[in-house]
Amino acid sequence: MTHKHFAPNVREEMNHAAFWIQRTPNPDHVIVHNREACNKIIAQQCQRVTNILSEPEWISGPETRRLINRYVLPENEARYNAHGEPFPKNEYINIRDNLNTHNIATKTQLEFGIPVQKTVVRAFPTWERNALAPNNVSFDRFQETEIDVFTPIAIVHKSADGEWFFAKTPLYAGWIPCKDIAVAGDRSNIEPLAAPKKFLMTTGSSVTANNGSTFQMGTKIPLVERNANGSFLIQIPKRDVHGKLHLENSILQAECDVHEGFLSYTTRNLFQQIFKMQGEPYSWGGRESGRDCTRLIIDTLATFGIQIPRNSGDQKNMGTECLKREKKIEVDAIFDPAIENLLPGTFLYSDGHAMTYLGTESGHHYIMHAFSGYQHIASSLGTPLFGAHVTNLAIIRGGIAAIENARTLANAGCNQ
């Protein structure tokens, strides 16, 4: 736990996984036995989830344009830059020129690559921030998501300034800084890194190797061998002077929070994993340090080998639906028997927000979530909350009535 600030109606002991695990019936029951079947079902339900290693060898010019043009510049909207000033109109011209769409070939052979460090996926090839409000430029609408080391990408196009790749990733297509990508050419060159047969799963919020490389929760790290002293010899991707892929060996110490292979998907493990991020800052799309609401769930489930969509709107369509109200209850209600009947560890979704249901205590429903809309309310210790925390469900915008879906991956054809 990063710090001890907590929300009203949350006692200190409620900020620990053990508090909720001991209130969960059968916390060691395996929720998903067949992760391959589960991932297949999720990919069928959400076309955004892509197996990069199965991408075709070529991409057509019209398809490249379609992918790039899915992102529309908000030129006719009020937007603000990093200084809270109106976003310059001439900057839109610069961005459009940098898309380099006039140089898209009729047909392009895909090149494959892999990040050498955690990096961003942007809607446009620019570092300029583009916010909806002048007083909250952290919510950069050009920021789509982030990807970690070992995430496979398929390179489709390059910006006019040569600093950005437009690429497909497992969850998004977007613009990625070239400096963060080691280009490998053929997909066979990244397969041992992106889909290693022997690997360590990062089970800490993040871990750091001896050479300084850092990996966030849910990252598979190719394992060479375990040393006699308990440390791990690993392989990591690096860029040579030409931006091409080469591999280096490094060491993860025995005390690093990693696991050989995937964890079992149980409620105990789910809670233990997600609480490792408790107290960390909120970060829209992962541009800064920290996670947003969906990334909290993505990284947790990745430790079990489950890959889910990036957006909350897509996430709520995965798996098995547990709850969908025909009629919403009153906004000010603090307790709902329908939610009490859900299993702890169920994912709850409102419009644009994702949460993990922990259970019920003293007539209140509690959730773990990374959130940004509570920073105007002081916590019981006088410090505003803006990050991953345990809270009463009633504090989200619209309260309990805002919950639209509750979903679990149990009994979704994943246990066959």
Exposed e or buried b for every residue in 237-261, given b needs 16+ CB within 10 A? bebeeeeebeeeebebeeebebeee
Per DSSP, the three-state class of 14 is helix
Q: Taking residues 88-108, what's their average pLDDT?
A: 97
Asked whether 35 and 409 are in contact (CB, 8 A), the reply is no
Band (319; pLDDT cuts 50, 70, 90)? confident
What is the reported pLDDT for 320?
Answer: 81
255: left (phi > 0), else alpha (psi -120 to 50), else beta? alpha
Strands 245-252 and 364-370: unpaired
pLDDT at position 3 is: 47
- Distance (Å, rounded) from C-alpha 314 to C-alpha 50? 13
- The dihedral over CA atoms of 367, 380, 275, 220, expressed in degrees to the nearest 10, equals 100
What integer pLDDT is reported at residue 176 of this predicted model? Answer: 98
The predicted structure's pLDDT at residue 383: 57
Banded model confidence at residue 218, pLDDT cuts 50, 70, 90: very high
pLDDT for 411: 61
CA distances from 10 to 17, 47, 388, 391 (A): 13, 39, 14, 7
Binning pLDDT at 50, 70 and 90, where does residue 184 land? very high
Q: Reply yes or no on whether the pLDDT at 260 is more than 90.
A: yes
Report the mean per-residue pLDDT for the chain.
Answer: 91
Q: At what angle do helices 267-274 and 293-302 cross, to 10 degrees?
A: 130
> Does residue 4 surpass a pLDDT of 60?
no
Lowest mean pLDDT among 62-71, 107-116, 255-264, 280-289: 280-289
pLDDT average, residue stretch 290-304? 95
Two structure tokens written together for 40: 């297949």
Handedness of CA 305, 29, 358, 272 (dihedral sign): negative
Query: Beta-carbon neighbour count of residue 312 at 10 Å?
Result: 21
Mean pLDDT along residues 311-339? 78
Which residue from 115, 238, 244, 247 is spatially nearest to 184, judged by alpha carbons?
244
- The rounded radius of gyration (Å) of the Cα atoms in the chain is 22
Question: Residue 64, Cβ neighbours under 10 Å: how many?
Answer: 20
pLDDT at 216: 96
Q: Is residue 1 very low, low, confident or very high in pLDDT (cuts 50, 70, 90)?
A: very low
Query: Is the distance from CB of 249 to CB of 209 less than 8 angstroms?
Result: no
Domains, the chain, ordered by start: 12-48+263-408 (3.90.1720.10), 52-187 (2.30.30.40), 196-260 (2.30.30)
pLDDT band at 394 (very low <50, low <70, confident <90, very high): confident
Provide the whole-model pTM: 0.93
* Nearest-angstrom CA–CA distance, 269 and 259: 12
Fill in the DSSP letter of residue 377. Answer: S
Q: Provide mean pLDDT across the span 38-60.
A: 89
Structure tokens at 178: 């070239």
- The CA angle 381-137-278, to the nearest 5 degrees, is 35
**CB count in 10 Å sphere of residue 235:** 16
> Which residue reads 């997909």 in tokens?
187
Helices and strands (DSSP H and E) totals, the chain: 9, 24
Cα angle 354-359-365, degrees, rounded to a multiple of 5: 70
- For the segment 323-329, the average pLDDT, to the nearest whole number, is 69
- More confident call, 402 vs 130: 130
| pLDDT at 2 (0 to 100) | 45
Q: How far is CA 220 from CA 191, 198, 263, 289, 393, in A?
A: 12, 9, 12, 20, 33
